[in-house]
A and B are shown apart, each in its own frame.
Chain A
Amino acid sequence: MAELTHLTMAGALDGLAKKEFTAVELAEAHVKAVETIRPLNAFITETPDKALEMAKASDARRAKGEAGPMEGLPIAVKDLFCTKGVLTTAASHILDGFKPEYESTVTSNLWRDGAVMLGKVNLDEFAMGSANITSHHGNVISPWSPGEVGNWSRQLVPGGSSGGSAAAVAARAALGATGTDTGGSIRQPAAFTGIVGIKPTYGRCSRWGVVAFASSLDQAGPMTRTVEDAAIMLRSMCGFDPKDSTSVDMPVPDFRAALTGDIRGLRVGIPKEYRVEGMPAEIAAIWDQGIEWLKAAGAEPVEISLPHTKYALATYYIVAPAEASSNLARYDGVRFGLRVEGGSLKDLYENTRGAGFGKEVRRRILIGTYVLSAGYYDAYYNKARQVRTRIKWDFDEAFQRCDVILTPTAPSTAFAIGEKMDDPIQMYLNDVFTVPASLAGLPGMSVPAGIGSDGLPLGLQLLGRPFDEETVLRVGQVIEKAAAVTATPPFMA
Chain B
Amino acid sequence: MSLDKATVAKIAHLARIKVPEEELDHLAGELSQILTFVEQLNEVDTGNVPPMTSVAAQKLRRRKDEVTDGGYRDAVLSNGPETAEGFYVVPKVVE
* A interface, CB within 8 angstroms of B: 97-101, 201-203, 216, 242, 245-246, 248-249, 308, 310-311, 313-315, 317-318, 325, 329, 332-339, 341-351, 353-355, 357, 362-363, 365-367, 369-370, 373, 380, 382-390, 392, 423-425, 439-441, 466
Contact = CB atoms under 8 A, between A and B. Distances in A.
Given A345-B93, A348-B91, A349-B16, A386 B54 contact: no
Interface in B25-57: 27, 30-31, 33-35, 37-44, 46, 49-56
Contact of B15 (A98, A325, A346): A325
B2 interface: no
A353 B15 contact: yes
Interface string B2-16: 010000100111111
Contacts of A329: 16
A341 to B, nearest CB: 8
Contact of A348 (B19, B27, B79, B90): B90
A21 B49 CA distance: 59
Contacts of B8: 366
B80 A335 contact: yes
A335 B79 contact: yes
Contact of A380 (B38, B49, B53, B88): B38
Contact of B11 (A216, A348, A357, A369): A369
Contact of B51 (A101, A342, A367, A382): A382
Contacts of A345: 90-91, 93
B80 A362 contact: no
Closest 7 CB pairs of A and B: A441-B55, A354-B18, A385-B51, A339-B81, A386-B46, A336-B79, A350-B18
A424 B49 contact: no
A72 to B, nearest CB: 30
Contacts of B82: 339
B34 A424 contact: yes
Given A101-B76, A385-B51, A466 B56 contact: yes
Given A98-B79, A425-B34, A440 B50 contact: no
Contacts of B16: 329, 332, 346, 349-350, 353
Given A203-B58, A389-B50, A441-B55, A370 B41 contact: no
Nearest to B43: A311
A466 B55 CA distance: 10
A248 B88 contact: no
A101 B72 contact: yes
Nearest to B77: A335
A311 B46 CA distance: 12
B75 interface: yes
B79 A337 contact: yes
A5 B27 CA distance: 45
Nearest to B16: A349
Interface in B56-79: 56, 58, 60-61, 63, 72, 75-76, 78-79
A349 B81 CA distance: 13
A370 B31 contact: yes
B84 interface: no
A308 B11 contact: no
In this complex, the member of B41, B43, B49, B93 whose beta carbon has the largest number of chain A beta carbons within 10 angstroms is: B41
A333 B81 contact: yes
In this complex, the member of B12, B30, B38, B75 whose beta carbon has the largest number of chain A beta carbons within 10 angstroms is: B38
Nearest to A325: B15
Contacts of A423: 33
